[in-house]
Structure 1
Amino acid sequence: MIKSVSREQLRSVRRRLNLLYEGKAEKLLERFFMMIGRYGVGRFDTLCNGDHWDERDSVLITYADSLQEPAAGNPLRALDRFSQKHLVGAVRTIHLLPFYPWSSDDGFSVIDYRKVDPASGDWRDVEHLGQSFDLMFDIVLNHCSAKSSWFKDFVAGIEPARHYFLDMDPAEDFSAVVRPRTSPLLTPTRTRDGEAHVWSTFSSDQIDLNWQNPEVLFEFIDILMLYISKGMRIARLDAVAFLWKTPGTSCIHLSQTHEMVQLFRDIIEIIAPRTLLLTETNVPHEENISYFGRGDEAHMIYQFSLPPLLLHGLSTSNAQYLTQWAIDLAPPPSGCTFFNFTASHDGVGVRPVEGILPDEETEKLVQHVETAGGRVNRRAMPDGSERPYELNVTYYSALAIPENPPLGARRFLCSQALMLSLRGIPGVYLHSLLATPNDMEAVEQTGINRRINRRKWQVDELETHLAEELPQFVFETYLKLLRRRSAQPAFHPDAPQQVFDIDPEVFAHNRVSLNGEQTIVCLYNFTPVSKSLTKAQMKSLGIPSGKCNDILSGSTRPISTAKPLELEPYQALWIATR
């Protein structure tokens, strides 16, 4: 249990509460400390060596009900069985996408934050999974379901929820508000007191919460403590960029939003210092990294520019934009890291490459995804036009080559090996691991583009799928990549990284372990033909003559700088040079 709070921690929380809720800080601070201990959150939460992460950290991203097996009893138990069988030693953390009762948006319209959707299982199933893996939960802060008890109480005028939402005057000027969707910003709603127009950033079923009301803050502090008590190691703050609203502004990335993230960081460092904050802000890169703050906001941020840049590079055989972006990428502040990924439950975001990819290259990417059977979601612009903001496709299908499926599988695995080798912690979407193709049937049945990469596998169907040659090859190779990566000190999330511009069709970088004893040179051929690295290129990469450890093959290989180093089509190569 928590024994004491330092003066510095107390001062920081008080300062943030005063900035957010002027004049109420002392009462709110007293209330916060009365809450501490309710869930027993601090009992097991000491860092043995002061480190938040190491090279063994990787995350599997999945819905609680992505795997379904009647014999298991419920989907969470089916996931537990699968994870015990295949993932021990390959991943350390499982990200359970929203598993609470919900009404739309596949979980992100939460009806009750404190319950497990009974269709998936119960808290005992979640805690059992947490005995073998660290867990990541979503905290859907910006909005809740229109079918939640909170919103029903708002409609009925019942305290305290009658003040949990934002009833706006539709005559106000909202033209400056940044919109991630084309749906109306305000949703007309009949309440006990008459018609309200409630703020709804994402849809009419997802009603934005009023964070200017401290009662909302304390609801979520309580929810945070509950989740930590149930085994949550990483808290993913969903859509946090839109949290605080001030009409007349963009209502995105406001200073109060950053202050709120910093407050959550302070609270976590008091009640559970081993817990990490991950912010989900699918926006241009410079805006995204602002959530590191000065090392006092998120511990991790998504590397949202990586999926579109990597997909563009491998689909055009052009590594230049990815290389230049990676060269320019500043290291995160001390105690912070990137969360690298290529795919998730959402599509591939387009906004994160604004200012990185020229418009004509972005259009090539959009056209490639459409050719691969994908769909495009668009957002409303202030001038009334629409622009692509998300490409819906499985990463496996996006990199498939229909006329040469084995080569397509190699191209896909090249993308995954590259992601795994970058500085930061890798996140692997279940459907990438399983080589799941586009689920066009789900899209056609529901009309929801995002369902293309949210397939729910019956376990017997999955076993048949994984018995096929290419899915089996991808699955087994991917698990091997994860296990071999976890054994390399140079892949510690904090280990330095240097990116080399050696060839427009090759992505090259190295990683050096924190103690300087291991260096790994990582090479990726972005083309469907063999490539040769010259003596000068090998020298610039620091590849010496002699025997080097080829990590991916698990063998040593003789290298002579007098001969070109051959890279096979779409080959990924990890060479330990010392």
Structure 2
Amino acid sequence: MTQPLASRLEAMLQAVYPAHDCDALAESLLAAMGLAQNTPSPPTHQNLWDQRDVFLITYADSVQREGEKPLRTLKRFLDDCLRDSVSAVHILPFFPYSSDDGFAVMDYLAVNEAHGSWADVEAIARDYRLMADLVINHMSARSRWFENFRKRLDPGRDYFFEARPGDDISRVVRPRTSPLLSPVQTDDGERLVWCTFSEDQVDLNFANPRVLLEFAAIIRQYLEHGVRVFRMDAVAFLWKEPGTTCIHLQQTHELIKVLRLLIEHHTPDAMVITETNVPNRENLTYFGNANEAHAVYNFSLPPLLINTLVTGNCRHLKTWLMSMPPAQMGTTYLNFIASHDGIGLRPTDGLLDDEERQRLVNTMESFGGKVSYRRTADGRDQPYEINIALWNALSGTASGGADHWQLQRFLCAHTIMLALEGIPAFYIHSLLATENDYSRVEHTGRLRSINRSQCQLAELEQVLADRSSHHGQVFHELKRLIAIRRAQPAFHPNATQFTLHLGLQLFGFWRQSTRRDQSLFCIHNISCEPQQVALGDINLIGTDEWTDLLTGQPVTDLTATVTLKPYQSLWLSNR
């Protein structure tokens, strides 16, 4: 018999707040979410997605139109250009903010007036599954809560994590080179506040259960405005204990379970996605036992796939793919190659050695990329991420430099992503094949701005209509590939996947639909030289009729040897 919601919640809270009245806290959380103690539980291990799901990642103001709020322009662009291609849209933080392009939130419950209003957000949510950021680890130093912290007033007086002089922070894992502790003058003296990311992004104190209650109320508001997917930003750093690494602590995992439980009981088809830019094995822990994240970002995919395509060698990508556990029903991977951030390098720990990683960094720098660093516990600065537009990242090879295969290489990367187990997500500037934006870097002084261009809708529509431009070619071909993917049950995010062994220049895997009514062999030449595939070696069943979905051509001789051009792909299907 299913345990009552309040009892399940109380048991989770006991693991985080053993000294508190967790029965009363559970009741307060349910009240904040508008839930009754006997609210029925949603089905477990339920897939909230299928092969038709494709995410778009964008800022609210990535596409602009004179005289119109950007959220309305975004809706116009989605409806006119992507209605048949994407099912969901992740709008990066659209709240009032003070820095980091939205990730230093000043007010969680307001829409940035420059972007639009809640009505504009709701209009997008009515036609697309809306994903929004829950910027849960930190808040702006210019927020009302932090102003109250300085004045020693509620709410906010004890909402931020403080360190004491002499606290052991030697083991803390850092994603930045900036100081971890920032001295702040308050009305009762100087305080040391914890700043994992920047001085303007002050870490919240979840050891105070009132902070958890605040976020329950925030989540309820987001759900009522139409948000159906929650991206838990930087959640791995949520719980702090001096003397530890302050990352992936058990209390963090328990709090994700608490929030997941509240969210899915309020709205059973809502999803939680954890954003944990960390080594692969650590990332996988955020599935829990199918009771934490519904989906995790597949952070190792971008650096490994880019490395594969610029070296012409798929050994590491293939080894990683073979090591990836199939996601349990009710969980899945979110696959992406590029995002608003850079290409993370920590997810290559244990997958690329130092020399290979440095070669990748050097190659990306030769294609115009920049490198951001983090500070290790022993005080060394190590490359943390590569800042570069994906179009430029795939402009050539490590050994030969820029070449004339850029378009084919770029499309090959997305063809692989679309076929892999999981839900594909396209960053808007990859869908548009945008180049490095050096002027924006100069304007903002931030390396990540290299891949955060803003464009005018009229100009964008004009360039996308031009099939002679690489922007138009990429956009229309990616839409074609998406349409093919969405029609294949073998591309369901939880369909079976096995890695094929076809040498180092051919990257292949097999997908089979959950009903076993479709098999798909996905084979990709990841090199700049032609490669041969012996169809007899991949075990095509002779009694089935096979077709290459990418060309529409039937396969009539199952023993033939096929030559793949540089960066050409095959999707061989038996239906």
State which of 102, 111, 115 in structure 2 corresponds to 1:107.
102
1:521 aligned partner: 521
2:330 aligned partner: 335
1:430 aligned partner: 428
> Contact conserved, 1:17 with 1:24, CA < 8 A, in 2?
no
SS of 1:158's equivalent in the other structure is coil
1:230 aligned partner: 225
- Deviation, 1:268, is 1.6
Aligned-partner Cα distance in 2 for 1:301–1:543: 34
1:264 aligned partner: 259
1:477 aligned partner: 477
2:53 aligned partner: 57
The reply on whether 1:125 has 2:120 as its aligned counterpart is yes
The reply on whether 1:12 has 2:25 as its aligned counterpart is no
Aligned-partner Cα distance in 1 for 2:282–2:506: 28
SS of 2:146's equivalent in the other structure is helix
Change (3 A) 1:437 1:383: same
State which of 31, 34, 43 in structure 1 corresponds to 2:31.
34
- Deviation, 1:35, is 2.6
- Deviation, 1:538, is 3.3
Aligned-partner Cα distance in 2 for 1:391–1:543: 43
Aligned-partner Cα distance in 1 for 2:330–2:443: 45
- Deviation, 1:26, is 1.4
State which of 180, 191, 196 in structure 2 corresponds to 1:185.
180
- Deviation, 1:476, is 0.2
Aligned-partner Cα distance in 2 for 1:358–1:296: 33
- Deviation, 1:474, is 0.3
Letter in 2 for 1:512: Q
2:506 aligned partner: 506
Deviation string 1:77-132 (CA, Å, 9 cap, x unpaired) is 11101100111121100000000000101100000000100111100001011111
- Deviation, 1:443, is 1.1
- Deviation, 1:529, is 1.8
The reply on whether 1:155 has 2:150 as its aligned counterpart is yes
1:445 aligned partner: 443
SS of 2:133's equivalent in the other structure is strand
1:532 aligned partner: 532
The reply on whether 1:303 has 2:298 as its aligned counterpart is yes
- Deviation, 1:46, is 8.0
Change (3 A) 1:119 1:6: farther
Deviation string 1:453-477 (CA, Å, 9 cap, x unpaired) is 0001112332343225211110000
Aligned-partner Cα distance in 2 for 1:132–1:535: 43
Change (3 A) 1:46 1:294: closer
Deviation string 1:268-316 (CA, Å, 9 cap, x unpaired) is 2221121111000000000000011111111100100000000000000
Change (3 A) 1:481 1:160: same
Unaligned segments of structure 1, at least 5 residues: none
State which of 541, 558, 561 in structure 2 corresponds to 1:564.
561
> Contact conserved, 2:133 with 2:232, CA < 8 A, in 1?
yes
Aligned-partner Cα distance in 2 for 1:29–1:257: 17
SS of 1:311's equivalent in the other structure is helix
The reply on whether 1:397 has 2:387 as its aligned counterpart is no
> Contact conserved, 2:490 with 2:518, CA < 8 A, in 1?
yes
Aligned-partner Cα distance in 1 for 2:406–2:183: 49
State which of 454, 458, 478 in structure 1 corresponds to 2:456.
458
- Deviation, 1:535, is 4.7
> Contact conserved, 1:90 with 1:483, CA < 8 A, in 2?
yes
Letter in 2 for 1:150: W
Change (3 A) 1:404 1:354: closer
Letter in 1 for 2:532: S
User: 105-114 or 521-530, which moves further after superposition?
Assistant: 521-530
Aligned-partner Cα distance in 1 for 2:228–2:172: 34
Q: Paired residues, what number?
A: 567
- Deviation, 1:249, is 0.5
SS of 1:7's equivalent in the other structure is coil
Percentage of identical aligned residues:
43
1:21 aligned partner: 17
SS of 1:12's equivalent in the other structure is helix
Deviation string 1:494-539 (CA, Å, 9 cap, x unpaired) is 1000111211011100111111001111011011121111255333
Letter in 1 for 2:569: A
Aligned-partner Cα distance in 2 for 1:545–1:475: 37
> Contact conserved, 2:96 with 2:105, CA < 8 A, in 1?
yes
- Deviation, 1:38, is 8.5
- Deviation, 1:545, is 8.6
The reply on whether 1:408 has 2:424 as its aligned counterpart is no
- Deviation, 1:10, is 2.5
> Contact conserved, 1:327 with 1:500, CA < 8 A, in 2?
no
The reply on whether 1:376 has 2:371 as its aligned counterpart is yes
2:497 aligned partner: 497
Letter in 1 for 2:436: N
User: 118-127 or 9-18, which moves further after superposition?
Assistant: 9-18
Aligned-partner Cα distance in 1 for 2:224–2:406: 44
Deviation string 1:395-430 (CA, Å, 9 cap, x unpaired) is 111012498776211100100110111001111100
Change (3 A) 1:296 1:46: closer
1:87 aligned partner: 82
- Deviation, 1:543, is 6.3
Letter in 1 for 2:201: Q
TM-score by length of 2: 0.95
Aligned-partner Cα distance in 1 for 2:81–2:149: 46
Deviation string 1:162-189 (CA, Å, 9 cap, x unpaired) is 0001221232221011111100011111
Deviation string 1:429-468 (CA, Å, 9 cap, x unpaired) is 0000001011111112222100010001112332343225
Aligned-partner Cα distance in 2 for 1:429–1:535: 34
Deviation string 1:462-493 (CA, Å, 9 cap, x unpaired) is 23432252111100001111111111111111
1:214 aligned partner: 209
- Deviation, 1:70, is 1.3
TM-score by length of 1: 0.94
1:419 aligned partner: 417
Deviation string 1:532-568 (CA, Å, 9 cap, x unpaired) is 11255333xx365985222122x23234233211211
Unaligned segments of structure 2, at least 5 residues: none
State which of 223, 246, 250 in structure 1 corresponds to 2:245.
250
Regions of 4+ moved over 6 Å: 402-405
Aligned-partner Cα distance in 2 for 1:13–1:261: 12
Deviation string 1:339-370 (CA, Å, 9 cap, x unpaired) is 11001100000000100112111111101110
